[in-house]
Structure 1
Amino acid sequence: MERKSLSPETRKQLIIAQRNEITEYHIYSQLAQKTKDPENAETLQKIAEDELRHYHIWKKYTDREVEPSQWEISKFYWIARLFGLTFGVKLMEKAENSAKVNYAEIGQEIPEATKIGQEETEHENQLIAMIKEEKLEYIGSIVLGLNDALVEILGTLAGLTFALQNTTLVALAGIIAGISGALSMSSSEYLSHKSEGNHEGALKSAFWTGLAYIVAVVFLVVPYLVFSSPFMALIASVIDSVFVVLVYSYYISVANDQPFRKRFGEMVALSTVVGLISFGLGYLVRILFNIDI
């Protein structure tokens, strides 16, 4: 039976869909080959096969080969390798969802397009949910470490900035407080998990909490080692804290399908309030004790 000719707009969308499918086929295939976990590798290969199958379905209608985007392959492959499979894959799927492919519109001319559209949103999401990554199992520990460091150390730096007005002393105090805080948070997290009977995950939870704490401390203290003006250093430190919250909130929102704006707003508001209170306390301490360094 002769196939009905496609409208120019539908044909254009099918070609875009073809390019998306063949590009993602190569990405998933490469990730499957490099993934050490056999279950993750099998899941990624299944998704790759789905993408290739969809590509050949669209090819029947467009009657043409479409080359994959080498830039997209390289970009998302390395994002997944550097920042984790779950983040890389979900970021790629978000990019695909924003592509100009309207399956409902295509379905008016090609009925099976509706089914493929459902597969893209349901079946692939189910497979992606099967990907297991250790770092995502300890998100709570990472959040705890980051949040505590941003609140406590930024508050400490803000208070000491006005009390001491000496970048070297403030940086030294921040480093000492940061290392002590990281060790304290790690040990608390370790004991907390041990008390719950989670002996296997206790050490890893402590590690991720401490690491997140130290990373935040580095971002907050570095400005005091760069700028000679304590107030310029404080402003830079606040900007750094917002940047850390921004990056991490975005990462979590993508990897765990959580609302970005709410998490980002909460963490920034909390850090800001504590910083302002500490800044005020530092001012009072300087006045009351007549500190002049």
Structure 2
Amino acid sequence: MESFSPHDPDLARTLILDELFDLLLYKALRDVTQPDVHETLDELIKVETGHLAFWQKFFQLTLTRLDLGRRIKLTVMMLVCRLFGSTAVHLVLEAIEVHGVRKYLAIWREYQGQPLAEALRGILMDEFKHEDTLVTALTQRKINAEKIRNIFLGLNDGLVEILGAVSGFFGAFGSATMVLIAASTTAVAGALSMGAGAFLALNSEKEVKSTEAARKKFLGEAPGEPPMEELPLSSALVVGSAYLIGAVVPVLPVLIGATDALFSVLTAGLMVVLVSTILSFLSGMDIKRRIALNLIIITVAVGVSYGIGILAKLVWGIST
């Protein structure tokens, strides 16, 4: 094998430590899961052991201990898995798979024509075939990851939108009572709107798929995709409820006595960090980038909404 001179030592450390993290995670999960999961985890442990040995030999660098950040991440993930059981384990395995594929594809594109890109081929084949098959078999019919993502997206939408409303109402009215009434009304209307939108979208999708399935059956063609498992009414309730829960976050400080938007901004900011971290982990996105983007969004939402409220107060002479 052609040796690679690590002109980027940070990349070498990242690749090795990421594989070491995955290996230690799978070993730790094996100790807290039921026996029916052990065979899958044993296969994943075998794959990760091979990946770790490969990168250590490739970069001529041996690392046997995680850095502080990864140790904290491992501890938190194991705590979540212990608290929430098999659902959390399945989500973690799927998320690790997504992260691995995206990371290695990005590196492969960047180092095209270099020894590192060629070395990645075998790793990527494992990610695409071996681990994908194992994790998919483990999670099949046990969890709907898309629904989990929708829950957190609903939370995020309700949080950001109602935080903007609270800021605008404080700018216009100044009265906590007026803000509470207006924000609560807006939150309920928004939740109903989100739920109705989800219901109509899924109902339309279900009708389209049913029509397509009937057409293929009539023509004697292969049925294609299986029918939708998501029920429109159930999804509408999930999305609407998630939106409403997110909306409660910026309204709660006003309910317990806040007289300006500051506490709503602080509580919403903390929740945005939490939701962004979970969403990023589940979808394979860069966590820091997602958090920064969402914090920028709520900053703009607060600033613009508060400015509109002040302007409305000046133009129309709104009194408290």
Q: State the TM-score bracket (shorter-chain normalisation).
A: 0.5 to 0.7
Pick from 25, 31, 34: which aligns with 1:32? 34
1:218 partner letter: V
1:280 partner letter: G
**1:64 corresponds to which residue?**
none
1:288 matches 2:315: yes
1:212 matches 2:212: no
- The answer for unaligned runs of 5 or more in structure 2 is 1-18, 54-72, 100-121, 207-227
Structural mapping, 1:158-197, within 5 Å: 158-197=167-206
CA-to-aligned-CA distance 1:23-53 (integer Å, 9 cap, x gap): 84463253235xxxxxxx44x5321466499
CA-to-aligned-CA distance 1:111-170 (integer Å, 9 cap, x gap): xxxxxx969x74456533544353412255335423432332112111111111122331
Pick closer, same or farther for the CA change 1:228–1:152 going to 2, 3 Å: closer
Structural mapping, 1:84-233, within 5 Å: 84-89=88-93, 122=127, 123-124=130-131, 126-132=133-139, 134-139=143-148, 141-142=150-151, 144-197=153-206, 198=228, 200-230=230-260
CA-to-aligned-CA distance 1:168-214 (integer Å, 9 cap, x gap): 33123222221221122111101110011157432332233123212
Any conservation in 2 of the 1:167–1:228 contact (CA below 8 Å)? yes
Cα distance, 1:78 vs structure 2: 4.3
Q: Name the stretch that deviates more: 260-269 or 208-217.
A: 260-269
Cα distance in 2 for partners of 1:23, 1:280 equals 48
1:134 alignment partner, SS class: coil
Cα distance in 2 for partners of 1:251, 1:145 equals 13
Any conservation in 1 of the 2:184–2:251 contact (CA below 8 Å)? yes
**1:265 corresponds to which residue?**
292
Any conservation in 1 of the 2:149–2:282 contact (CA below 8 Å)? no
Any conservation in 2 of the 1:219–1:237 contact (CA below 8 Å)? yes
What TM-score, normalized by structure 1, do the two folds share? 0.63
Any conservation in 2 of the 1:29–1:48 contact (CA below 8 Å)? no
- Number of aligned pairs? 233
Cα distance in 2 for partners of 1:87, 1:199 equals 19
Cα distance in 2 for partners of 1:163, 1:204 equals 37
Q: Name the stretch that deviates more: 155-164 or 81-90.
A: 81-90
Cα distance in 1 for partners of 2:313, 2:96 equals 52
**2:263 corresponds to which residue?**
236
What TM-score, normalized by structure 2, do the two folds share? 0.58
Any conservation in 2 of the 1:47–1:124 contact (CA below 8 Å)? no
Any conservation in 2 of the 1:142–1:209 contact (CA below 8 Å)? yes
Cα distance in 2 for partners of 1:256, 1:249 equals 10
Cα distance in 1 for partners of 2:317, 2:24 equals 70
Any conservation in 1 of the 2:159–2:249 contact (CA below 8 Å)? no
Any conservation in 1 of the 2:165–2:305 contact (CA below 8 Å)? yes
Pick closer, same or farther for the CA change 1:48–1:32 going to 2, 3 Å: farther
Output the aligned Cα RMSD: 4.0
Structure showing greater relative contact order (alpha-carbon pairs closer than 8 Å, 6 or more residues apart): 2
Any conservation in 1 of the 2:187–2:247 contact (CA below 8 Å)? yes
Structure whose CA Rg is larger: 1
How many percent identity over aligned positions? 26
Cα distance, 1:279 vs structure 2: 0.7
Cα distance in 1 for partners of 2:74, 2:266 equals 33
CA-to-aligned-CA distance 1:56-112 (integer Å, 9 cap, x gap): xx9xxxxxxxxxxxxx99965541252722444478899xxxxxxxxxxxxxxxxxx
Pick closer, same or farther for the CA change 1:167–1:130 going to 2, 3 Å: farther
1:282 partner letter: G
**1:7 corresponds to which residue?**
none
CA-to-aligned-CA distance 1:230-275 (integer Å, 9 cap, x gap): 2xxx122122222222112211222232222333333332332222
Pick closer, same or farther for the CA change 1:244–1:272 going to 2, 3 Å: same
Cα distance in 1 for partners of 2:187, 2:307 equals 21
Cα distance in 2 for partners of 1:205, 1:49 equals 35
